[in-house]
Structure 1
Amino acid sequence: MSALRQGVRKREVFGWVMYDFANSGYTTVVITAVFAAYFVGGIAQGAAWATFAWTAALSASYALVMVSMPAIGAWADRHGAKKRVLMIATAACVVATAALAVTPRFTGANAVVLAMAMVIVSNTFYSYGESLTGAFLPELATPEGMGKMSGWGWGFGYVGGMLTLGVCLAYVLWSQARGLPASHFVPVTMLITAAIYGLAACVTFALLPERAQPQPDRAPEGAWAQLRRTFHEARGYRDFMGVLACTVCYQAGVAVAITLAAIYAEQVIGFLPQETMVLIFVLNLAAAVGAFAFGYLQDRIGHRLALAITLVAWIAVCVIAASVTTKSGFWWAATIAGLSMGSSQSAGRAMTGYLAPPARSAEFFGLWSFATRLASIVGPLSYGAITWAAGGNQRVAILATAVFFVGGLLLLLPIRMQRGRDAALSTPQGVRSAFGTR
């Protein structure tokens, strides 16, 4: 059975997965491997408040997305304009990422404020793009093929992240061999990341059509009113809401891995910066394999069981990372984390697409974006608070992170996928086609 909806061409699917390829370099280079460490050690000069300032900037962007994305998604659904909004969000993220390259030209508080502002802007629009591209999934894939297609998207995404990080790593090593400082090579990595993001996204815009039809009967609302209404109406879809609650829980743990893996590797295990970049590269490789493999597996065994398997693996990662003392031991934890990251994120997006009412996919993916961004605030802040309470002991914090994955497992148990799919299709909004099919 084909994973594609009738009338969907393979070139459209390639265009869709290329957006994951395009935007993954941003999180890999800016959020995880390069700019985060440079902000703390270079721009903020290792000040005691530096890590808090970094997490505060990220949290501010996630809060903006939480309150605004459902309204943006509803507007895109109402006007049949997901692609148009996606193009705007992409352009804004690319420009703000490139703007990070000028931060070394400033000093003191000015550099900190500029860097934080550009991180807030770039990460906000990155998050808009991630949510909007997810809303195309129900238009392209059959319900039985969403897992496979989501897996392809995440897999291509990690390949894109590896490509961007690999090019940046090559430039960093070249610069270090010539004695150039971080204030020289970090800005160049921001330009590289922005360029790859923008160029690869052009493939998406060239190949991926807008299939949704405008819905003029839907009245516009303000952001807060839209968010309240969407949440209120989504409560009628109990299994969709169960997925959101599960997502908040386990994605909080995933956010810890994305945001703090490099810091844990260097401060606790003793990795050098170059070794950390190689570690993140291999983690992305493992994540790509996990996303590809589980994309096929979850369509065979079910999204719910596939996600449960990955959450058990995440619990193992936390236990291993908290107990090992050698670099080789931590490599095992990182490899399992990579496999789990790709598969869990792929399964979560596929479950959201499967359970969302088809005619309101962008709006309901806005709720998914709300959940993932809430998790991105809760996870890292909890990690930091536990580390502080434990007197700087990050091993306690990483072990406590396992609680998020245990909670995700418990919240996953009552979810019934077929019941949720039937509910998504049971109302006029669910039946009315958003795809322009005939």
Structure 2
Amino acid sequence: MALFPSSALNAGVRKREVFGWAMYDFANSGYTTVVITAVFAAYFVGGLAKGAAWGAFAWTLSLSIAYAIVMFTMPMIGAWADLRAAKKRVLMLATAGCILSTAALALTPRLSGMEAVGLAMLLVIVSNTFYSYGESLTGAFLPELATAEGMGKVSGWGWGFGYIGGMLTLGVCLAYVLWAQSQGLPASHFVPVTMLVTALMYGLAACVTFALLPERAKPAAASGRVSWSDSWRQLRRTFDQARAFSDFMWLLACTVAYQGGVAVAITLAAIYAEQVIGFKPQETMVLIFALNLAAAAGAFSFGYLQDRIGHKISLSTTLVAWIAVCIIAGSVTTKGGFWCAAAIAGLAMGSSQSAGRAMAGVLAPPQQLGEFFGLWSFSTRLASIIGPLSYGAITWMAGGNQRIAIFATSGLFIAGLLLLLPIDMKRGRAAALEAAR
């Protein structure tokens, strides 16, 4: 943790607290890497759904339902957590919910037909909802830890640790899968084990966060007794006040656009690699592992560059890289060519997500972090619905041609670039600080 100075942290914040905070990204990234991207997604479509044409739609529908739930509930939960100074308590509950439902995915191969598909969809909805709650809540701790000038570095540490955690979990799962395949065991045997491994590593790493990361916020109400109706009233006030934070609102619009493209990469990369380029399942897992390695490097390095050259320039640079990824991935026909696109995607993924979260931290009013990060989560979940569903719709309309869909995805990143232009970081930060007085 000596790679960034104490001046990057707010007064009284110890580096061990930053380490504890970053370890939550380490903890939950195994879930997205193994469940959403590399292992269970392919098993759901090819194993539980038996490769049926509706399999991919059922998968994206499950994720979309989860994201819709988060969209309409996370702002309220964030407001409640702010008023009660309960971000850490809610984070612990969300973590437990994701871990238990992820472990329960191991039960799906014991059923058959639509019963297995139905149970898998239900558990994916539940686990992804709780995962998303945790992601938003941990982001709300960032401005409590880092100064505006050091937020890029600290955010980069979080995303970097996250990709390392994702690689470690995927690496353990890959080792087991290769052993199981060498023993002639089917996917219905080794996929449940990967779900249990993912849940276990999530829980162990999250314990570090809960041990080291304190709740620094103070209850807004003197008695600390705040009802859910108070949260709703506060949330309505937040939406009414949002017009005064124009730069934050532009960031939300930008986030909806470019995160929609990122969501395509996260949820459909393995499917594209196998169905269009011809990767084998174990090759796909290695590809995702390498993508996480590149993403970790991008998050770490861009966190420092972001604080030096500015948040806006950093994010715009990564969006240009994403446009290049879409063009390359849609054009290449060889595995080597797709590896090139994946390497750029990894660097762009880590840096763009780190930059976006840091920008939200700079532009959010300090006294309403939970609420404003709830709005940011609303935008990222809306993006996660728009991106994959539009990809699927375009693929269907194009007669199954995913290359057309990946070219069209570049439009989301172009829109993100255009929506980034009106943002003035100095003006937005001044508005956020003025609201805290």
Shorter-chain TM range is over 0.9
Cα distance change of structure 1 residues 202 and 317 upon mapping to structure 2, 3 Å threshold: same
- In structure 1, distance between residues paired with 2:19 and 2:253: 31
C-alpha distance after superposition, 1:216-250 (max 9, x if no partner): 17875377766544323222100000100000000
- The one-character-per-residue Cα deviations of 1:361-407 (angstroms, maximum 9, x if unpaired) are 01100001000000000000111111111111111110111100000
Contact 2:80–2:231 (8 Å) recurs in 1? no
2:314 to 306, 326, 337: 306
* 1:46 counterpart SS class: coil
Tell me if the contact between 1:68 and 1:223 (Cα under 8 Å) persists in the aligned partners: no
Corresponding residue for residue 123 of structure 1: 128
Give the counterpart letter for 2:297 in structure 1. V
- Matching of residues 310-329 of structure 1 within 5 Å: 310-329=318-337
Distance 2:317 2:310 in 1: 11
Query: Cα RMSD over matched residues?
Result: 1.2
The separation in 2 between residues aligned to 1:192 and 1:143, in whole angstroms, is 37
**Per-residue deviation at 1:415?**
0.2
Between the aligned partners of 1:227 and 1:81, the Cα distance in structure 2 is: 16
8 Å CA contact 2:160–2:295 kept in 1: the answer is yes
Query: What letter corresponds to residue 358 of structure 1 in structure 2?
Result: P
Cα distance in 2 for partners of 1:41, 1:225 equals 46
Match in the other structure for 2:391:
383
The residue type paired with residue 157 of structure 2 is W
2:119 pairs, out of 87, 111, 114, with 114
Q: Which residue of 2 aligns with 1:32?
A: 37
Contact 1:294/1:306 (CA < 8 Å) preserved in 2? yes
Equivalent-residue separation in structure 2 for 1:395 and 1:61 (angstroms): 27
1:178-327 to 2 correspondence within 5 Å? 178-216=183-221, 220-221=228-229, 227-327=235-335
Residue 145 (structure 2) aligned to one of 125, 140, 146: 140
CA contact (8 A) 1:355 1:420 kept: yes
Residue identity in the other structure for 1:252: G
List per-residue Cα deviations over 1:40-66 (Å, max 9, x = no partner).
111111122111111111000000000
Question: Taking structure 2 as the reference length, what is the TM-score of the superposition?
Answer: 0.96
For the structure 1 residues 6 and 28, does the alpha-carbon distance in structure 2 shift closer, same or farther, using more than 3 Å as the test?
same
Work out the CA distance in 2 between the residues paired with 1:377 and 1:231: 22
Give the Cα separation in 2 of the matches to 1:35 and 1:333. Answer: 23
Are the aligned partners of 1:155 and 1:287 in contact in 2 as well (CA < 8 Å)? Answer: yes
Percent identical? 77
Cα distance change on mapping 1:337 and 1:25 into 2, 3 Å: same
Distance (Å, rounded) in 1 between the aligned partners of 2:124 and 2:398:
29
State the one-letter code of the partner of 1:50. Answer: G
CA distance in structure 2 between the partners assigned to 1:213 and 1:222 by the alignment: 16
- 1:249-295 Cα distance to aligned partner (Å, 9 max, x none): 00000000001101111111111111000000000000000000000
Note the alpha carbon deviations across 1:100-157, whole angstroms, 9 max, x for none: 0011111112111111111000000000000000000000000100000000000000
Out of 90, 93, 117, the residue aligned to residue 98 of structure 2 is 93
Instruction: Kindly indicate whether residue 168 of structure 2 is the aligned counterpart of residue 163 of structure 1.
Output: yes
Secondary structure at 2:53 match in 1: coil
Deviation at 1:189, TM superposition (A): 0.1
User: Contact between 1:70 and 1:226, CA under 8 Å: does it hold in 2?
Assistant: no
2:131 aligned partner, one-letter code: Y
Q: What SS class does the counterpart of residue 434 from structure 2 fall into?
A: coil
C-alpha contact 2:255 2:380 (8 A) present in aligned 1:
yes
Q: Alpha carbons of 1:387 and 1:222: their partners in 2 closer, same or farther (altered >3 Å)?
A: farther
Residue 334 (str. 1) matches residue 342 (str. 2): yes
User: Offset of 1:87 from its aligned partner?
Assistant: 0.3
Q: For residues 64 and 53 of structure 2, what CA distance do their matches in structure 1 show?
A: 18
Do 2:26 and 2:162's aligned partners in 1 also have CA atoms closer than 8 Å?
yes
Aligned 8 A contact 2:79 2:231 in 1: no
Give the corresponding residue for 1:351. 359
3-state DSSP class of the match of 2:50?
coil
49-58 vs 219-228, which deviates more?
Answer: 219-228
In structure 1, stretches of 5+ residues that fail to align are 432-438
Deviates more, 1:200-209 or 1:42-51: 42-51
